[in-house]
Amino acid sequence: MELLSEIKESSVCPSTKPPEKPMDCSEVLFNGHNISGVYTLWPMSRVLTSESVKAYCDMDTEGGGWTVIQRRGNFSRPVDYFYKTWEEYKRGFGLLSEDFWIGNDVIHAFSNQKLYSVRFDLTDYNGTKAHAVYNKFWIDDEDHSYRLHISGYHGNAGDSMLVHDNQKFSTKDKKNDNSKTTHCAVYNKGAWWYNNCHQVNLNGLYVKSTFNYTGIIWRGFREFKTLESTEIKIRPYNFLKQ
């Protein structure tokens, strides 16, 4: 894992020429576009096939340049809108201007083109905010069940993703968790890198509750009290050094 991190980090070459086809939101910002919104991106692995991706770019948080890969909030969806199948999580779903999952294939394409950090922004029902940043983040491809690699925590939400590191992705129709007694995605009504089962469940049911394992959970922030909104976003690890 460390060798892969070193290879990714060393593959980033500084350039003063704006990229014609930005491969993430940090390059969109480098091109002079500093307004948050939806942009067209070309992940490195898809340039030769001319497969572009639409993504929401956060140009406001901590210097901007974040590619948003998930958002939850009160957008009048069914409470179980994120309780979807493997194929749906593979392709992605939702509206980039509202709540969405960008798709595991796309997350894999983004997170393996260079070394990325990931940021989780969380808000509870009292309006209290917290965040967690991990310096290193990527997921494997579908053949390896989108296994998660995440490390280097800092922030004020608590290191709740630690237990999910090196776990495969699970959905209601594909159990990849480590529980011998429970199908974690079914039991928790979501989809995630479940271990045995979770400390984080950001794709759970959208319910307002004082205590609910199946809701939107970040245990280090509010134990098992559900959250009102979340965003997950990625940015090159060396972004602030450029």
Q: What value does the mean pLDDT of the chain take?
A: 92
Q: pLDDT by residue (tens digit) across 103-160?
A: 999 999 999 999 999 999 999 999 999 999 999 999 999 999 999 999 999 999 999 9
Is 15 a domain residue? no
What is the CATH classification number for the domain harbouring 38? 3.90.215.10
Give 65-83 pLDDT, tens digit per residue: 999 999 999 999 999 999 9
**Rounded mean pLDDT of 89-107?**
98
Q: 20: pLDDT confidence band, cut at 50, 70 and 90? A: confident
In a domain, 7, yes or no: no
CA dist., res. 170 & res. 186, Å (int): 9
Residue 156 counted as domain residue:
yes
Within a domain: residue 9?
A: no
Question: Quick one: pLDDT band at residue 16, thresholds 50, 70, 90?
Answer: low
Domain holding 110, by residue range, is 25-236
Percent of the chain predicted with pLDDT > 70: 89
Query: Is 15's pLDDT higher than 80?
Result: no
User: 114 in a domain, yes or no?
Assistant: yes
* Rounded percentage of the chain residues whose pLDDT exceeds 90: 84
- Domain presence at residue 5: no
Domain count within the chain: 1
